[in-house]
Amino acid sequence: MSDFPRIIPLFPLPNLVLFPGIKVPLHIFEPRYKEMVTDASAGDGLIGMILLKGEWQQDYVTQESYHAYPDIFEVGCAGRIEELVQLPEGRFNVVLQGISEFRVKHEMRERSYRQAEVEWCPVAHEALDCDSETLEGLREVLFSYFGAPAQEAWRALVEERGFHGAELINFLSFHLDVTPLEKQTILEAFAGRADCLIDVLSFKLEERKLGPAGTGGGPDSVQ
């Protein structure tokens, strides 16, 4: 993607995995990230959202390690600043819209915030188009796992709002109540994202059936 920059700022978080097309609100208050937003808004408006990995908290135990570089995953999603409100003390409320997946090649340490040279690896919308079998498989596992709320959400998204393909898969991947690590796995599946989403939900459905410690003591089991 020649129109995208080679180097972008990184905003690592422990609990947020962004997907293309998704809008996410952020409250920016740390000095280094206030600088990041100021720089990004004066330029192309891009910020690379990326998930922190492992025991990242250990790097923030002391003030001396506050600007440490805890491990991050290799794949993230860049968002463009859609809305920006400056608040007292230099804080910001920001709305980012996800635009493309990227892969970190190596980090740059020239600013107070993290930056990286990245390889852009966007998934074409048509690559996430679901055939009827995949769409039906997704619908079934959603209904099985989430029950009536999923049926209402499916009707609203697919039948009323006309969501399909990339729009539907990315929306569900972001909003479903699964762990950040599971969402990261779905993001990294790229063109296989729909099948990965089905696999993640199917696994969680089996976990529920087995209950605590694999005993079969799920919520509907006989005690």
In the predicted model, what is the mean pLDDT of residues 13-38? 97
pLDDT at residue 1 in the model: 58
Confidence of residue 209 (pLDDT cuts 50, 70, 90): confident
pLDDT at residue 67 in the model: 61
pLDDT at residue 125 in the model: 83
More confident call, 125 vs 219:
125
pLDDT at residue 211 in the model: 80
Quote the strand ranges of 109-143, DSSP E. Answer: 114-120
Please check the confidence at residue 79 and state whether its pLDDT lies above 60.
Answer: yes
Second-level CATH architecture of 7-120: Roll (2.30)
Instruction: Give the domain ranges of the chain.
Output: 7-120, 125-214
Within 12-97, residue ranges assigned H as helices are 31-42
Number of H helices, E strands in the chain: 6, 6
Please check the confidence at residue 16 and state whether its pLDDT lies above 70.
Answer: yes
For the ranges 48-62, 121-135, 193-207, the one whose mean pLDDT is highest: 193-207
Alpha carbons 92 and 129: distance in angstroms, whole number: 36
In the predicted model, what is the mean pLDDT of residues 151-169? 92
Alpha carbons 100 and 35: distance in angstroms, whole number: 23
Please check the confidence at residue 163 and state whether its pLDDT lies above 70.
Answer: yes
Confidence of residue 54 (pLDDT cuts 50, 70, 90): confident
pLDDT at residue 69 in the model: 84
Phi/psi region, residue 54 (left: phi>0; alpha: psi -120 to 50; beta: rest), is: left
Confidence of residue 214 (pLDDT cuts 50, 70, 90): low
Mean pLDDT, all residues of the chain: 89
